Amino acid sequence: MLTCKKTYTDIPFAHRQHSHDGHCAFIHGHNWSISLTFACTETDENGFVIDFGKLEFIKSWISVHLDHACVFNTDDPQREALVNAAESCWKPYVVDNCSCEGLAQHLFELFNAMIQERTDKRVSIVEVEIREDSKNSASYLAE
Ligand SMILES: [Zn+2]
């Protein structure tokens, strides 16, 4: 298996883990990084696992959905009240779990499906690593 890794850095967005018993329950932001590890057994005609120049759709997806967003959990009881109180102040994005781990799994499922579709399943994503800052990160590894 061959792999290559692409990292998207300095993506500002907020999140809140409403059921946490500490400060993670407060809305707060990080300058996130997302690293995607791609894998294949046969390279393309250029010898690449994947052509980094053809990943604009991922950068675009991140820009549309996460850049300057606030990520909420699906079951956050305050989400609708917060967003409805001042809709123009929010770019909400909703996931099952907005922890680093939950985001890594969510983005794995999303981006892996996109990559497999665009490469006729020649390429898969085998790891998504999310960094919320220089100290804390989590990864989702393909099973
Ligand atoms: Zn956080």
Between the CA of 56 and the centroid of ligand 1 the distance, in Å, is 27
Question: What letter does residue 60 receive in the DSSP assignment?
Answer: H
The reported pTM is: 0.95
Between the CA of 131 and the centroid of ligand 1 the distance, in Å, is 10
User: What CATH number matches the domain at 2-141, 3.30.2290.10, 3.90.45.10, 2.60.120.10, 3.30.479.10?
Assistant: 3.30.479.10
Between the CA of 133 and the centroid of ligand 1 the distance, in Å, is 9
Domains of the chain by residue range:
2-141
pLDDT digits (tens), the chain, 143 positions: 999 999 999 999 999 999 999 999 999 999 999 999 999 999 999 999 999 999 999 999 999 999 999 999 999 999 999 999 999 999 999 999 999 999 999 999 999 999 999 999 999 999 999 999 999 999 999 99
C-alpha–C-alpha distance, residues 34 and 70, integer Å: 16
C-alpha–C-alpha distance, residues 65 and 70, integer Å: 10
Instruction: Report which secondary-structure segment, H or E, holds 111.
Output: helix 100-118
